[in-house]
């Protein structure tokens, strides 16, 4: 089965945002937790210092360390997000006028854009899931995944692809 689709900027942006959030979500949550615990420890340390307990200074120092660490992590997250946006915009400018080709054969899943070809054997896929009218197929060796959107390929093709994926990927 071979499907040729026009490049869709809004869909591509949505897929890239999904990928970024999926990769960086745990890092962001960890950073937020460090910040919250840093504030709690700082408040506790200040209360101890105001109560004339010397131990409060140690708690304040630990909390400031956690706050600085969370600030540093947050800046890293924002930098990575900006880099992702730049790469997304660069890719969009490069491929806006081209077509993408999905080819599902008995042996492999193939994806082609001008200047790029990827052939992935069905055995390399480890899992698939349906989210937001998308089929997300996890790839074992590449530590990545393919995203096929219903809007991108049409309802009939989407259902057909879904059946092929279910038959080829054994969970």
Just give the CATH number of 99-168: 2.30.29
**135 burial type by CB count under 10 A (0-12 exposed, 13-18 middle, 19+ buried):** buried
* DSSP string across 73-102: HHHHHHHHHHHHHHHHHHHHHHHTT-EEEE
Q: pLDDT band for 8, please (50, 70, 90 cuts).
A: confident
Q: What is the pLDDT of residues 27-54, one digit of tens each?
A: 999 999 999 999 999 999 999 999 988 8
- The mean pLDDT value of the chain amounts to 88
Q: Which residues contact 18 (CB under 8 A, 6 or more apart)?
A: 147
Q: What are phi and psi of 80, to 5 degrees?
A: -65, -35
Q: What is the pLDDT of residues 114-150, one digit of tens each?
A: 788 888 888 888 888 887 788 888 876 556 677 888 8
CA pair distance 63, 35, nearest whole angstrom: 9
Which pLDDT does position 142 carry in this prediction?
Answer: 53
């Amino acid at each position: 089965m071979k499907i040729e689709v026009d490049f869709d900027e809004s869909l591509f942006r949505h897929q890239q945002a999904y990928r970024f959030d999926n990769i960086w979500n745990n890092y962001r949550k960890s950073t937020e937790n460090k910040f919250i615990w840093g504030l709690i420890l700082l408040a506790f340390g200040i209360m101890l210092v105001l109560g004339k307990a010397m131990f409060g200074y140690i708690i304040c120092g630990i909390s400031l360390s956690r706050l600085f660490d969370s600030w540093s992590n947050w800046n890293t997250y924002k930098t990575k997000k900006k880099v992702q946006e730049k790469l997304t915009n660069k890719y969009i400018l490069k491929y806006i006028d081209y077509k993408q080709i999905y080819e599902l054969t008995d042996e492999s899943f193939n994806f082609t854009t001008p200047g790029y070809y990827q052939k992935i054997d069905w055995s390399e896929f480890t899992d698939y899931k349906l989210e937001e009218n998308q089929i997300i197929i996890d790839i074992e060796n590449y530590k990545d995944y393919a995203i096929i959107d219903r809007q991108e390929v049409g309802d009939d093709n989407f259902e057909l692809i879904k059946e092929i994926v279910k038959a080829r990927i054994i969970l």
